[in-house]
Chains A and B, each alone.
Chain A
């Protein structure tokens, strides 16, 4: 295959749960492979077996299991990217949306635009993904693609225009009229594989003309050339297609197609439209971050000869071992090439390079920008950027926030425990914001992440994918402790227990330090603390940081300056100065008005304006601070800052307050002071916990 970036498409299929996403995906694979198979028969040497009817049947049973499946449609290569089913905002969703250049938004012709379609569509909008709409299930009773198109306009605010109209509906669905070519299309053969193009049935001519006028009026906006020819009545198919493409790429137009995946109607024209109207990789401007230039934006050139930039967007433990899916944004990759992982700066060689088909894998020697391929057995995390060593850029921000919530998990049996370590190993690799450790005191496995939902998703996956049976504890917020005013310390550590004693005196000041978690300053004059023990003081202070004295959470934001001290020529030692520093630290900590900090989240709730009051009320009840609201086409977004501890169970509450029509996203913003009443409560809980632990012992 010769490389031509214009003949590549990376697309996703986004849909509401019951709108037939799986069936549509299967049909796309089927028709594409069918064509592929015909090519094979014609004697072209290559990959993939020629399929007999048995295999076709088997093929029809599969669902898209892999993260990206490569198919060929006519002379175009399409990477079908799986978009995660859950709609919660996580790094995983973000990554899969990032690698798409375009999407098919599938809607049910009966159900129309439902709340989940709204969510899915908003995600696509957020990542500026151009899209086509496909109104599926036109064979169902109550099907009405006209109404669905209207809903696309009203509920989603799309400039939606039909580029087809149905021939018959419900059980009488026969095919579609293509309003661009003004031809009727029927889908003959056992699986609708033969397209029969005829004149438009007489009874549909008027409707077709009317809808075509609507289409042309809408798309003339995007092409002066078309607008002129349309006035003169000389518009060509090419002109119309070009204008639809321009409108779609600019996200200002959504072409609407229709059919029934189940009844094999309308799929091939949909694929043709993917080719005609959705972008190829070079149509989209991508940027990376230049690590050497303080993360300045770096504009990516879709040029196979440029230095390689690729993103690992998905890791998969498949039947073939660990696969790393990468999207090549710039340059090209080939077997044997040495790559660098920008995050770890580790180098490795490309062993096997794989293209994933629906039923097989294909070993390839090289791949070029725009493409999606998989690597075998690479040790990396998802979200990592690989380059050849000539360039040091990152596709994603390298900043990984610290987890703000933790949860204890207990596997119920031995088998679950074994599987648990496998699962944790994989999840932590896939998602850098998901962390885990074993608590030394309770011997429990603790998982940590960015929010309640975040952890819930992983627990669900442990149960589903790894068949782990487990019990979970209550989610725990990661509090911090800090000080609010400067305090001096002057501590003498003295111990005489026969043999050599221990002696040190450490004095200085502890101050609040907003810029970072901890800073050590050496202000010792005249060698009152010998040079070799300065580091011991730093070490001693650092030992105090993991566990504060209010509720035993890590201490942040302290600057420790030492400016005085004493030593003993025999009894002073590294350990003596460490202990002296520790003593000094706690002496000052008590005086420095310590307080508890809690993670505050940046919360964004979006829902229909009619529920604005409920949303605002729910934020207010959660000690939230409303920063702004934005209203647009009957939707309101509320931006707020809310303490994480108040956000537990919010998704359920929000669902019931808004009939499931609102969604929210949440990310860590900052640590903020816990109000006094809450701090008292936390201290009480801590004391009780300590008492109980003492009793147990």
Chain B
């Protein structure tokens, strides 16, 4: 299969079709789930899908080192290229790596201002024209909506799509009337899309719980295949 076909056949086109065209430039999306359900896998797949389209992605993490994040991207790429029997995989791979940069923040309690300052520096000084930013492992419990607002402004100013992941507590998680976890309720006006990962027996169901201003939200019919850690169409 050639790259173009792979892009059209990507299950993420379903996400865009089911929602109002996906998150969209200048907007923020969140993937939320308990620990270990597959948030990173989803985000890396979303990012890789962008990379296939020749777009630029910054991956922000708060990990100990960056090598395992690179490994995530490698795994997902090889899984996709293998699955679709991608032509010229090596060249495509090289092209993808060029358009991806990882920004890792190791210090505890780093401020949002600092993260945004560094992102801006990467985009403006590093001339890295990001189309999407992935922020994996962001702690929503430690900040207020007001403190989060600069991210939204930043996304709008630079016309970038930002995806966050947010970890829910294992037990005793409460939801508001619209089905949004109370952890995220204060931020919901700033978030365009919220997807909740629900572990089912055989797979993980992607449940759309916020879609711009749409209510009730449509069904996505997407799942995360726990075997290959890719987003796929639900049968």
Query: Which residues of A line the B interface, CB within 8 A?
Result: 609, 612-614, 616-617, 619-620, 625-634, 636, 639
> A616 touches which one: B70, B102, B121 (CB < 8 A)?
B121
**B103 touches A (CB below 8 Å):** yes
> B118 touches which one: A620, A625, A631 (CB < 8 A)?
A631
Identify the closest chain A residue to B125 (Cβ): A613
Closest 8 CB pairs of A and B: A616-B126, A613-B125, A632-B106, A628-B102, A617-B125, A613-B121, A628-B66, A630-B104
**B128 touches A (CB below 8 Å):** yes
Smallest beta-carbon distance B146→chain A, Å = 24
**B124 touches A (CB below 8 Å):** yes
Residues of B within 8 A of A619 (CB): 126
**B107 touches A (CB below 8 Å):** yes
Residues of B within 8 A of A629 (CB): 101-104, 118, 122
Whole-angstrom distance between the alpha carbons of A609 and B120 in the complex? 13
| A–B Cβ pairs within 8 angstroms, 15 of them | A609-B114, A613-B121, A613-B125, A617-B125, A617-B126, A617-B127, A627-B66, A628-B66, A628-B70, A629-B103, A631-B103, A631-B107, A631-B118, A632-B105, A632-B107
Smallest beta-carbon distance B106→chain A, Å = 4
Identify the closest chain A residue to B126 (Cβ): A616
**B110 touches A (CB below 8 Å):** yes
Whole-angstrom distance between the alpha carbons of A619 and B118 in the complex? 15
Across the interface, do A626 and B106 meet the contact criterion of CB distance under 8 Å? no
Across the interface, do B126 and A628 meet the contact criterion of CB distance under 8 Å? no
Whole-angstrom distance between the alpha carbons of A60 and B26 in the complex? 69
Smallest beta-carbon distance B18→chain A, Å = 33
Residues of A within 8 A of B102 (CB): 627-629
Across the interface, do B126 and A631 meet the contact criterion of CB distance under 8 Å? no
Residues of A within 8 A of B97 (CB): 625, 627
Across the interface, do A630 and B127 meet the contact criterion of CB distance under 8 Å? no
Identify the closest chain A residue to B64 (Cβ): A630
**B13 touches A (CB below 8 Å):** no
Residues of B within 8 A of A613 (CB): 121, 124-126
Whole-angstrom distance between the alpha carbons of A626 and B69 in the complex? 15
A627-B101, A629-B102, A633-B107 given. 10 additional CB < 8 A pairs? A616-B128, A617-B126, A620-B128, A627-B66, A628-B101, A629-B101, A630-B65, A630-B106, A631-B107, A632-B106
Across the interface, do B118 and A628 meet the contact criterion of CB distance under 8 Å? no
**B98 touches A (CB below 8 Å):** yes
Across the interface, do A612 and B66 meet the contact criterion of CB distance under 8 Å? no
Residues of B within 8 A of A616 (CB): 121-122, 125-126, 128
Residues of B within 8 A of A639 (CB): 66
Smallest beta-carbon distance A327→chain B, Å = 29
Whole-angstrom distance between the alpha carbons of A632 and B103 in the complex? 11
Smallest beta-carbon distance A486→chain B, Å = 15
Smallest beta-carbon distance B208→chain A, Å = 32
Residues of A within 8 A of B118 (CB): 609, 612, 629, 631, 636
Smallest beta-carbon distance B114→chain A, Å = 8
Across the interface, do A625 and B121 meet the contact criterion of CB distance under 8 Å? no
Residues of A within 8 A of B65 (CB): 630
Residues of B within 8 A of A634 (CB): 107
Across the interface, do A631 and B121 meet the contact criterion of CB distance under 8 Å? no
Whole-angstrom distance between the alpha carbons of A629 and B98 in the complex? 14
Across the interface, do B101 and A620 meet the contact criterion of CB distance under 8 Å? no
Identify the closest chain B residue to A617 (Cβ): B125
Whole-angstrom distance between the alpha carbons of A633 and B106 in the complex? 8
Smallest beta-carbon distance B109→chain A, Å = 11
Smallest beta-carbon distance A158→chain B, Å = 15
Residues of A within 8 A of B110 (CB): 631
Residues of B within 8 A of A631 (CB): 103-107, 110, 114, 118
Across the interface, do A612 and B121 meet the contact criterion of CB distance under 8 Å? yes
Across the interface, do B104 and A620 meet the contact criterion of CB distance under 8 Å? no
> A628 touches which one: B103, B107, B114, B127 (CB < 8 A)?
B103
Whole-angstrom distance between the alpha carbons of A627 and B96 in the complex? 12
Across the interface, do A626 and B107 meet the contact criterion of CB distance under 8 Å? no
Residues of B within 8 A of A614 (CB): 125
Smallest beta-carbon distance A165→chain B, Å = 30
Interface residues in B126-181 (C-beta closer than 8 Å to A): 126-128
Question: Chain B, 56-88, contact with A by CB distance < 8 Å: what is the 0/1 string?
Answer: 000000000110011000000000000000000
Identify the closest chain B residue to A619 (Cβ): B126
Residues of B within 8 A of A627 (CB): 66, 70, 97, 101-102
Identify the closest chain B residue to A614 (Cβ): B125
Whole-angstrom distance between the alpha carbons of A629 and B125 in the complex? 13
Smallest beta-carbon distance A192→chain B, Å = 42
Residues of B within 8 A of A632 (CB): 105-107
Across the interface, do A626 and B105 meet the contact criterion of CB distance under 8 Å? no
Whole-angstrom distance between the alpha carbons of A588 and B132 in the complex? 45
Smallest beta-carbon distance B225→chain A, Å = 28
Across the interface, do B107 and A620 meet the contact criterion of CB distance under 8 Å? no
Smallest beta-carbon distance B88→chain A, Å = 12
Identify the closest chain A residue to B123 (Cβ): A616
Across the interface, do B98 and A625 meet the contact criterion of CB distance under 8 Å? yes
Residues of A within 8 A of B127 (CB): 617, 620
Q: Given A609-B118, A631-B118, verify A620-B106 contact (CB < 8 Å).
A: no
Whole-angstrom distance between the alpha carbons of A577 and B125 in the complex? 58
Smallest beta-carbon distance B140→chain A, Å = 21
Whole-angstrom distance between the alpha carbons of A620 and B101 in the complex? 13
Whole-angstrom distance between the alpha carbons of A124 and B134 in the complex? 34
Identify the closest chain B residue to A637 (Cβ): B104
Query: In this complex, which of B69, B125, B128 has the most chain A Cβ atoms within 10 angstroms of its Cβ?
Result: B125
Across the interface, do A626 and B128 meet the contact criterion of CB distance under 8 Å? yes
Whole-angstrom distance between the alpha carbons of A639 and B97 in the complex? 13
Residues of A within 8 A of B98 (CB): 625
Whole-angstrom distance between the alpha carbons of A636 and B106 in the complex? 10
Across the interface, do A626 and B104 meet the contact criterion of CB distance under 8 Å? no
Residues of A within 8 A of B128 (CB): 616, 620, 626
Whole-angstrom distance between the alpha carbons of A625 and B124 in the complex? 15
Residues of A within 8 A of B103 (CB): 628-631
Residues of B within 8 A of A612 (CB): 118, 121, 125
Residues of B within 8 A of A617 (CB): 125-127
Whole-angstrom distance between the alpha carbons of A628 and B66 in the complex? 7
Whole-angstrom distance between the alpha carbons of A616 and B122 in the complex? 7
Smallest beta-carbon distance A320→chain B, Å = 46
Residues of B within 8 A of A633 (CB): 106-107
Identify the closest chain B residue to A612 (Cβ): B121
Identify the closest chain B residue to A632 (Cβ): B106
Residues of B within 8 A of A609 (CB): 114, 118
Smallest beta-carbon distance B73→chain A, Å = 11
Whole-angstrom distance between the alpha carbons of A636 and B102 in the complex? 13
Residues of A within 8 A of B105 (CB): 630-632
Residues of A within 8 A of B66 (CB): 627-628, 630, 639
Whole-angstrom distance between the alpha carbons of A630 and B62 in the complex? 9
Identify the closest chain A residue to B63 (Cβ): A630
Whole-angstrom distance between the alpha carbons of A632 and B106 in the complex? 5
Smallest beta-carbon distance A214→chain B, Å = 22
Across the interface, do B125 and A626 meet the contact criterion of CB distance under 8 Å? no
Residues of B within 8 A of A620 (CB): 125-128
Whole-angstrom distance between the alpha carbons of A323 and B185 in the complex? 72
Smallest beta-carbon distance A638→chain B, Å = 8
Identify the closest chain A residue to B59 (Cβ): A628
Smallest beta-carbon distance B132→chain A, Å = 16
Whole-angstrom distance between the alpha carbons of A613 and B101 in the complex? 15
Whole-angstrom distance between the alpha carbons of A613 and B117 in the complex? 9
Whole-angstrom distance between the alpha carbons of A620 and B125 in the complex? 8
Whole-angstrom distance between the alpha carbons of A634 and B122 in the complex? 16
Whole-angstrom distance between the alpha carbons of A627 and B100 in the complex? 7
Whole-angstrom distance between the alpha carbons of A616 and B120 in the complex? 11
Smallest beta-carbon distance A317→chain B, Å = 41
Smallest beta-carbon distance B43→chain A, Å = 16
Whole-angstrom distance between the alpha carbons of A627 and B128 in the complex? 11
Whole-angstrom distance between the alpha carbons of A612 and B117 in the complex? 10
Identify the closest chain B residue to A615 (Cβ): B125
Interface residues in B4-39 (C-beta closer than 8 Å to A): none
Smallest beta-carbon distance B108→chain A, Å = 9
Whole-angstrom distance between the alpha carbons of A625 and B128 in the complex? 10
Whole-angstrom distance between the alpha carbons of A79 and B127 in the complex? 50
